Amino acid sequence: MRLKFLLKPGWLALTLVVFTFAVTCFTLLAPWQFSRNTEREHQNAALRESFSGQPRSLDQLLPGGAVPDQRTEWHLVTMKGTYLPEGEVVARLRSVQGEAAFEVLTPFRTVEGTVVLVDRGYVRLDDKSRALPFAAPPAGTVDIVTRARHDERDGKNRDAFADETTGGKLQSYVVDSQVVARAAKLDIRPGYFQLDLNQPGVLGALPLPQTDAGPFFSYALQWIAFGAMALMGWLYFTVRELKPGGALTTERPQRRKSVAEMLAEDERSEVAT
C-alpha cells in the first residue's frame, strides 16, 4: 500500500524536522518578533511624548514609589537634591554609539529624602580597557532633569565588585538600582534616572534610541512564511510519493531502452548467430 512509505525511518525523520521547525516558527520565533515590535512601539510612543511633554516631578510621574514601566519610561523627571558620590558604581561592558564604554551610576538623595540612582552618562576606555578619569558630581544641592528608566537585569544576579582590575572602584555588570543599593548600603527606590544633556553632573550624555519602527514586524512575517513554506514543501513531497514512481518507492518502473542500446543488442544477436 502506498501509505506505507510514511512509516519509513527516513520519512519519519523528515516529518519530525519539518513539523518541529514549523511549530517553532509559529509559537516561538514569530511571537518573539511581534513582542519586540510591540515593545518598540511603546518605547517610540514614550519617546515622542517626552519630546513634546513638560518635565514632571518624581511624585507626579511615579507616585507612591511606582517603578518605571513601558508607559512612563523615558519621560522627563525633575529632581532637587544632592549627589552621594561615596556610593558610586561604574557599569562595565557597555556600548555607546558602537564603541566600548563605562556608565557612571551615582546615588542621589532628593530634598524629600528619597534616594534614587542617577546614570550620569558614559566615559570611554583607556589603553588598558579601564575607565578614563571622570569628573566627580557637583557638591551641594542641585536641580537636575532626568529620564525615567526601568532597571536592567543580570541573569547571573552578580553583585558589584572591586579589585585590582577596577582600580578599587566598584563595578557592576548591569544598570540596576538594587545592585548599587547593596553595594552602597543605601535604600534606593527601584528604577534609575538617566541624566539629560547639559545637566549638573552629566558626563557623556547617553544618546536616545531612534524612533524608527525597526525590522521586527517584517521578521515576524518572515518566520511565519518560513514555517508555512516548510509545511507546504512537506505536503508537496507527500503527495508526490503517493503517486507511482515516487522517490521512496521500492518498485521502480522499467526504463525504456535507448536507440543505441537497441542497436547494440541487435549487433550482439547477429554475432551470436
Q: How confident is the model at residue 254 (pLDDT cuts 50, 70, 90)?
A: low
Q: How confident is the model at residue 163 (pLDDT cuts 50, 70, 90)?
A: confident
pLDDT in tens, 5-46: 667 888 888 889 999 999 999 999 999 999 988 888 887 777
Query: At residue 258, does pLDDT exceed 90?
Result: no
Whole-angstrom CA distances from 173 to 100, 149, 157 are 13, 17, 9
Q: How confident is the model at residue 255 (pLDDT cuts 50, 70, 90)?
A: low
Query: At residue 80, does pLDDT exceed 90?
Result: yes
CA separation for the pair 241, 230 (Å, rounded) = 17
The percent of residues in the chain predicted with pLDDT above 70, rounded, is 85
pLDDT in tens, 208-243: 877 677 788 899 999 999 999 999 998 988 888 777
pLDDT at position 130: 85
64: left (phi over 0), alpha (psi -120 to 50) or beta: left
Q: How confident is the model at residue 115 (pLDDT cuts 50, 70, 90)?
A: very high
**Grid coordinates 518573539 are at which residue?**
32
Grid cell locating 223: 518566520
pLDDT at position 195: 95
Mean pLDDT of the chain: 87
Alpha helices for the chain (secondary structure H): 9-24, 30-52, 58-61, 177-184, 216-242, 259-272
Q: How is the chain split into domains, by residue range?
A: 1-52+214-244, 56-195
Candidate ranges 2-16, 105-119, 198-212; pick with highest mean pLDDT: 105-119
pLDDT (average), residues 163-176: 89
Query: At residue 61, does pLDDT exceed 60?
Result: yes
pLDDT in tens, 122-133: 999 988 888 889
